[in-house]
């Protein structure tokens, strides 16, 4: 659906307002602590809403969405470190490369249906991690350290962190709009049909292998850029951080918590989850049980609230279905 | 030449254990179309059961077999009631998510209790020598035990009344229900058996190699490869495919770095699935 028609809908402006508030909240009073918390939220929302393209629309579970994040991070950090590329160009190249790679992979592994695809994505994580650990230009298992002066072109470290924050929020906003735009397009309808019944969709003329590969590739682009920004910010990348399975698990929990297949739900879910996680990390009792708690949360959602938060809201306030996507 | 022969023989020995592990996965898969993502962790639970009994209590390692078998069965029945029961008959993706979340909880508990340190169980058994090569006694005994357990599972499924009920439920759950088979109980028992087999396979692997709480991932991947090779829901196929995988691993190990072994196995998994969507020894309906 063209942008102009999306802009006639109230949800477009609700989303825009929320993103603007998100971006500007830490600016008042130069609140650095809030900024650091929100940048993590932005990472979660980016990962979860791109994962949702596969999970919520096409009904395909991707256990390895972290691969895009890590590969994007590696590509960007490598270009900045070894070839002294500017950040913007590195991010763009990282996004495009990872997307193209996902398209190539996708055309292969998306011939696997349903559960087999999910199993294959676990293997992709293993494969990419093994590649990163053995690839010498990426520093093998010790990773890449960026020198301190990389922030100079962005106006020194203090200013650079603000620039990175706004870029991350932009990536988050683009992710949400990508979800929204796809959901209201013919492409999105095709994906939803695949999610309902893939055979029926194919018979009715949805080019299922192509659509699946395209959405897999689309769901790689923005997480790769987010990964680039994230690891540029920490000025350090190594395989165990870049392909941390916890993060892709959390993205899954977030998407399910908010409500798979919805745009707003995933954002709210990310917010809630991050609050919960912050509480768990600071309380001494639960600090070691983070994985346990996300597992328990996911189990409860899957067993009792498969529609997530948005499913709950839709059921009790049916009118919201017309406004909230 | 002798070296190649030796690595093939060792591959067969280790492969029998891989095959046994995969039988646990493929049994549950075949009977109720549920992919048990706690499989790897259940394998690790078997390893830690072995460690607890052999190292802490000081019992001989192979005495851990009966307690692991019984504990695994109970854990499997519990798993069925918590995570699988509500998912049977729903889209397979939901059971994938529910077993995945149980797995997360177990891994979270395990890492906070044991950390990610490497554990090792010493097994002192005389080996068998062939020229310059020695096959460790533990490998031989593990392979023999794996073969015995696999054979008893086969006999259980083919000959016993309960085993026939399991196969009937796999074939057609509604028809089985109609002729008076208590399908829910049969499903719970099936998950119990699958997990018990995974646990015992883990215990046997624990006598061969050192392990950590996170080792489960790689063994789970191996089980998936074996399941794909052997045909989904086909325990006998799994055993032979396990041997094939063990031989392949033995043949590949001298030539590639260890971290690539898993990648090669995974590539094999995808390749097999793309070329033979039902697995190579594609199960006839009701092959179980």
Domain residue limits, chain A? 3-323
CA distance A283 to chain B (A): 15
Please name the residues in contact with B165: beta carbons below 8 A apart, sequence gap of 6 or more: B176, B181, B186
CA distance B193 to chain A (A): 22
User: Residue B92: which of A109, A114, A133 has the nearest Cβ?
Assistant: A114
Strand partners, B130: B133
List CB contacts (< 8 A) between B274 and chain A: 108, 111-112
The interaxial angle of helices A66-83 and A87-109, nearest 10 deg, is 140
Note whether B263 contacts A127, CB cutoff 8 Å: yes
Tens digits of pLDDT across chain A (325 residues): 567 777 888 888 888 898 988 888 888 878 888 888 889 889 999 999 999 999 989 988 888 889 999 999 999 999 998 888 888 899 999 999 999 999 988 887 777 777 788 888 887 887 888 888 888 888 888 888 888 778 878 877 888 889 999 999 999 999 999 999 998 899 999 999 998 888 999 999 999 888 999 999 999 999 999 999 999 998 889 988 888 877 888 888 888 888 888 888 888 888 888 888 777 777 766 666 778 888 888 899 888 888 888 888 888 888 887 778 7
What pLDDT, on the 0 to 100 scale, is given for residue B280? 64
User: Using beta carbons and an 8 Å cutoff, which residues of A are at the interface with B?
Assistant: 59, 61, 63, 108-109, 111-116, 118-120, 122-124, 126-127, 130-131, 133-134, 249, 252, 256, 288-299, 302-303, 306
Q: Which residue has the higher pLDDT, A169 or B57?
A: A169
List CB contacts (< 8 A) between B97 and chain A: 61, 252, 256, 298, 302
Q: Which residue has the higher pLDDT, A112 or B24?
A: B24
Q: Is the pLDDT of residue B287 over 60?
A: no
Residue of B nearest to A252 (CA): B97
User: Residue B259: which of A109, A112, A134 has the nearest Cβ?
Assistant: A134
pLDDT tens for each residue of B116-148: 888 888 887 777 777 777 788 888 899 999 999
Give the containing element (helix H, strand E) for A19. Answer: helix A10-24
Please name the residues in contact with B73: beta carbons below 8 A apart, sequence gap of 6 or more: B192, B193, B195, B196
User: Residue A249: which of B93, B104, B277 has the nearest Cβ?
Assistant: B104
- Percent of chain B with pLDDT strictly greater than 70: 95
Most A CBs within 10 Å: which of B35, B83, B100, B107, as the mutation test of the A interface? B100
3-state secondary structure chain B: CHHHHHHHHHHHHHHHHHHHHHHHHHHHHHHHCCCCCCHHHHHHHHHHHHHHHHHHHCCCHHHHHHHHHHHHHHHHHHHHHHHHHHHCCCCHHHHHHHHHHHHHHHHHHHHHHHCCCCECCCCCCCCEEECCEEECHHHHHHHHHHHHHHHHHHHHHHHCHHHHHHHHHHHCHHHHHHCCCCHHHHHHHHHHHHHHHHHHHHHHHHCCCCECCCCHHHHHHHHHHHHHHHCCCCHHHHHHHHHHHHHHHHHHCCCCCHHHHHHHHHHHHHHHHHHCCCCCCCCCCCCC
* pLDDT, averaged across chain B: 87
| Of A210, A212, A267, nearest in space to A49 by CA | A267
Residue of B nearest to A61 (CA): B93
Model ipTM?
A: 0.86
Note whether A290 contacts B224, CB cutoff 8 Å: no
Residues B199, B202, B205: CA angle, nearest 5 degrees: 155
What pLDDT, on the 0 to 100 scale, is given for residue B286? 47
How far apart CA B125 and CA B142 sit, in angstroms, is: 11
User: Residue A295: which of B94, B102, B259 has the nearest Cβ?
Assistant: B102
How far apart CA A228 and CA A51 sit, in angstroms, is: 17
Please tell me the pTM assigned to this model. 0.85
What pLDDT, on the 0 to 100 scale, is given for residue A68? 94
How far apart CA A116 and CA B71 sit, in angstroms, is: 29
What pLDDT, on the 0 to 100 scale, is given for residue A287? 60
Q: Count of CB atoms within 10 A of residue A85's CB?
A: 16
Note whether A126 contacts B102, CB cutoff 8 Å: no
């Amino acid at each position: 659906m063209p942008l102009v028609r999306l802009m006639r809908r109230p949800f477009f402006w609700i989303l825009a307002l929320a993103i603007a508030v998100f971006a500007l909240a830490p600016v008042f009073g130069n609140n650095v602590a809030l900024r650091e918390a929100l940048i993590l939220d932005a990472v979660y929302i980016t990962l979860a809403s791109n994962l949702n393209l596969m999970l919520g629309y096409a009904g395909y579970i991707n256990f390895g969405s972290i691969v895009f994040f890590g590969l994007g991070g590696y590509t960007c950090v490598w270009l900045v470190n070894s070839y002294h590329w500017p950040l913007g160009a590195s991010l763009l190249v990282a996004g495009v490369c990872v997307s193209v790679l996902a398209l190539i992979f996708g055309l292969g592994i998306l011939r696997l249906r349903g559960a087999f695809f999910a199993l294959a994505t676990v293997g992709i994580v293993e494969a990419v991690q093994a590649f990163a650990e053995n690839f010498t230009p990426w520093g093998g298992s010790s990773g890449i350290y960026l020198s301190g002066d990389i922030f100079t072109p962005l106006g020194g470290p203090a200013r650079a962190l603000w620039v990175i924050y706004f870029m991350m929020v932009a990536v988050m906003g683009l992710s949400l709009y990508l979800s929204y735009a796809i959901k209201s397009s013919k492409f999105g309808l095709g994906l939803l049909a695949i999610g309902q019944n893939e055979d029926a969709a194919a018979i009715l003329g949805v080019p299922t292998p192509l659509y699946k590969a395209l959405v897999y590739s689309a769901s790689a682009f923005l997480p790769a850029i987010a990964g680039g920004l994230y690891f540029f910010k920490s000025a350090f990348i190594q395989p165990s951080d870049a392909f941390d399975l916890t993060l892709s698990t959390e993205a899954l929990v977030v998407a399910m918590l908010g409500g798979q297949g919805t745009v707003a739900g995933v954002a709210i879910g990310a917010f809630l989850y991050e609050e919960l996680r912050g509480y768990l990390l600071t309380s001494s009792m639960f600090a070691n049980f983070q994985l346990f708690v996300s597992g328990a949360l996911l189990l409860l959602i899957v067993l009792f609230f498969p529609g997530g938060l948005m499913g709950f809201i839709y059921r009790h306030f049916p009118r919201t279905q017309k406004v909230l996507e | 030449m002798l070296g190649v022969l030796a690595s093939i023989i060792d591959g067969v020995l280790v492969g029998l254990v891989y095959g046994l592990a995969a039988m646990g996965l493929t049994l549950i898969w075949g009977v109720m179309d549920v992919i048990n993502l706690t499989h790897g962790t259940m394998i690790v639970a078997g390893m830690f059961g072995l460690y607890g009994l052999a190292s802490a209590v000081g019992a001989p390692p192979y005495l851990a077999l009966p307690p692991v078998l019984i504990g695994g069965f109970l854990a499997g029945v519990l798993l069925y009631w918590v995570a699988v029961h509500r998912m049977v008959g729903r889209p397979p993706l939901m059971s994938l998510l529910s077993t995945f979340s149980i797995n997360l909880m177990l891994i979270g508990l395990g890492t906070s209790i044991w950390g990610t340190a490497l554990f090792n169980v010493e097994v002192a058994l005389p080996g068998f020598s062939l020229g310059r090569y020695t096959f460790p006694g533990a490998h031989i005994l593990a392979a023999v035990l794996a073969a015995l357990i696999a054979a008893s599972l086969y006999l259980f499924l083919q000959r016993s009344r309960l085993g026939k009920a399991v196969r009937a439920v796999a074939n057609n759950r509604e028809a089985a229900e109609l002729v008076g088979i208590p399908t829910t109980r049969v499903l719970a028992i099936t998950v119990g058996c699958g997990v018990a087999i995974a646990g015992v396979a883990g215990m046997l692997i624990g006598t061969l190699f050192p392990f950590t709480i996170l080792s489960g991932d790689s063994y789970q991947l191996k089980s998936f490869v074996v399941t794909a090779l052997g045909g989904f829901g086909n325990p006998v196929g799994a055993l032979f495919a396990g041997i094939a995988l063990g031989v392949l691993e033995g043949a590949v190990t001298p030539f590639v770095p260890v971290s690539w072994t898993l990648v090669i196995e995974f590539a094999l998994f995808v390749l097999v699935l793309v070329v033979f969507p039902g697995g190579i020894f594609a199960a006839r309906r009701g092959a179980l």
